[in-house]
């Protein structure tokens, strides 16, 4: 085996894993706090990618500079959806929320098809084909930038949950709703804010995804499945665990492509999910009960 090729594959897997991590972070946050497994999460990532494409193709805004716009717009969409729809079933059996979020996924996919057609779209800024050479290693510039932004956002979310008043309120509500209410936390607003943050992260992740891959209205279901796997592998209660889970999945998929073929990449990644569920059900960095 060529050592240089293996190193390149591992680098590509790390870059892919960082992107996976930021895609899964919003799902893990919503799942961990609201106990909602958002089956429409991938569809929101898809919408974020299309928003980034529109900002670049229609308004000439660089996709990385447009990420804050993505996040704010998608936050408002998520906040409104939670207050107007999901808050009605936030304490209902999980099956109800699964049905609603699945319906949202179908509706969003259909609306995206109507608005953008089923054609593949790409975001091609001037530096899209640029790369940085480190000896025999080639680092694609767009993927490197996307990885850097993903790591920064993940660490920022970890610091937000630990160091800010709102972050502590979110964690307190996830751990004990009754006690949080006694300390003055208003659950409806906090739930909507949490869901909005999760969808805002999905929007930013979609913008990053659009810079390194083609987009179409049907990518949502696949991305939701990967986000679900990453959240389980890393652990729901730690953003750094989600980052680790994304890196593990990205490296496993890249190695699977090298050794057993691209057809089996998803098989390999979900086999790791099954193994983690057997050996450490709370995830690699999840806290024991």
pLDDT tens, 242-278?
888 888 888 888 888 888 877 777 788 788 888 887 8
In percent, the amount of the chain with pLDDT more than 90 equals 29
Q: Structural domain of residue 117, as residue ranges? A: 3-279
In percent, the amount of the chain with pLDDT more than 70 equals 92
Instruction: State the pLDDT confidence band at 288, using cuts at 50, 70 and 90.
Output: very low
Residue-wise pLDDT tens digits, 83-109: 888 887 777 777 788 889 999 999 999
174/288: higher pLDDT: 174
The per-residue pLDDT for 111 is 93
The per-residue pLDDT for 47 is 95
The whole-angstrom separation of Cα 36 and Cα 176 is: 16
CATH of the domain at 257: 1.10.3470
Report yes or no on 170 lying in a domain: yes
The H helix count followed by the E strand count for the chain is: 11, 2
Q: What are phi and psi of 124, to 5 degrees?
A: -120, 80
Residue-wise pLDDT tens digits, 13-65: 899 898 998 899 989 888 877 778 889 999 999 999 999 999 999 899 999 99
Instruction: State the pLDDT confidence band at 128, using cuts at 50, 70 and 90.
Output: confident
pTM of the complete model beyond 0.85: yes
The per-residue pLDDT for 253 is 86
Report yes or no on 189 lying in a domain: yes
Report yes or no on 179 lying in a domain: yes
Report yes or no on 175 lying in a domain: yes
The per-residue pLDDT for 289 is 38
The per-residue pLDDT for 182 is 61
Report yes or no on 287 lying in a domain: no
Number of domains in the chain: 1
Report yes or no on 286 lying in a domain: no
Give a three-class secondary structure readout of 33-73: HHCCCCCCHHHHHHHHHHHHHHHHHHHCCCCCCCHHHHHHH
> Looking at the predicted structure, is the pLDDT value of residue 1 above 60?
no
Residue-wise pLDDT tens digits, 106-119: 999 999 999 988 88
Helix (H) or strand (E) holding 137: strand 137-140
Report yes or no on 272 lying in a domain: yes
Report yes or no on 174 lying in a domain: yes
Nearest to 78, CA basis, from 22, 17, 18, 34: 34
| Average pLDDT, integer, range 194-207 | 93
């Amino acid at each position: 085996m060529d050592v240089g090729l293996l190193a390149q594959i591992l680098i590509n897997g790390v870059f892919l894993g960082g992107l996976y991590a930021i895609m899964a972070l919003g799902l893990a946050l919503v799942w961990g706090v609201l106990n909602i497994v958002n089956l429409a999460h991938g569809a929101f990532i898809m919408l974020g990618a299309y928003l980034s494409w529109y900002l670049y193709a229609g308004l000439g805004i660089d996709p990385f500079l447009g990420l804050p716009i993505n996040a704010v717009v998608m936050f408002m969409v998520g906040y409104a959806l939670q207050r107007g729809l999901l808050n009605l079933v936030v304490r209902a059996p999980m099956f109800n929320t699964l049905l609603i979020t699945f319906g949202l996924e179908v509706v969003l996919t259909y609306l995206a098809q109507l608005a953008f057609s089923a054609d593949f779209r790409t975001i091609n800024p001037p530096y899209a084909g640029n790369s940085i050479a480190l000896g025999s290693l080639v680092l694609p510039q767009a993927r490197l930038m996307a990885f850097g932004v993903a790591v920064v956002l993940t660490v920022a979310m970890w610091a937000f949950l630990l160091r800010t008043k709102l972050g502590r309120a979110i964690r307190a509500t996830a751990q004990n709703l009754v006690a949080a209410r006694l300390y003055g936390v208003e659950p409806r607003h906090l739930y909507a804010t949490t869901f909005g943050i999760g969808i805002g992260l999905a929007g930013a992740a979609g913008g990053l995804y659009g810079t390194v891959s083609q987009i179409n209205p049907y990518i949502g279901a696949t991305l939701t499945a990967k986000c679900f796997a990453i959240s389980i592998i890393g652990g729901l209660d730690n953003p750094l665990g989600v980052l680790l889970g994304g890196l593990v999945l990205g490296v496993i998929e890249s190695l699977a492509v090298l050794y057993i073929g691209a057809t089996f990449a998803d098989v390999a990644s979900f086999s790791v999910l099954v193994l983690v569920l057997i050996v450490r059900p709370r995830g690699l960095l999840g806290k024991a009960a």
